Amino acid sequence: GESCAADNPALSQAPRVWKKDAFEKGSLEVRGKSGDGKKIDRRITAGKPARVALASSNDLIADGRDISYIDLTLRDADGNRCYTTDGNVSLRVSGPARLGGPEKILVAAGLARVAIRSTGESGEIKVVATGDGLKSGELRIKASHSPTR
């Protein structure tokens, strides 16, 4: 890799801030020393966004009031979150739930969150997210009259 500070004494003084105009896919490793010994921290930088990943924390209670939050994450081909990517994603919900907002949403820093609400009916809910040049994401959750939380 490329060192940002090893050969530049000015960058070895606090505060340690390195500015880089463009991010590259790969990893960033920071090595340092503290009172209790060596410290190493590693971060992965993502490549070009390749897909939309969807996740939910819970199924729905089919009572017409329950809400489930759906997290959308833009990921590269290796599954890394694309922290520096903003864009639009379109959503489609089918089954016994309704989207609690617009069908087209802005993803900022690779993340967005939407809510879906139960219609009162039980059954399977399918959420599909699509974006230009991205593999679509799909999530299936259940709405039932007997809660499973």
User: Is 54's pLDDT higher than 80?
Assistant: yes
pLDDT of res. 24: 67
Spatial contact of 63 and 96, defined as CB atoms under 8 Å apart: no
pLDDT of res. 86: 94
What mean pLDDT comes out for the span 132-142? 97
Q: Which of 25, 34, 18, 37 is nearest to 1 (CA)?
A: 25
**Dihedral sign (CA 89, 69, 46, 106):** positive
b/e per residue, 16-39, with b = 16+ CB within 10 A?
A: eeeeeeeeeeeebeeeeeeeeeee
Q: How far apart are the first and last CA of the chain?
A: 47
Q: What is the pLDDT of residues 6-53, one digit of tens each?
A: 555 555 555 555 555 565 677 767 777 777 777 777 777 889 999 999
The tokens describing 16, both together, are 């340690």
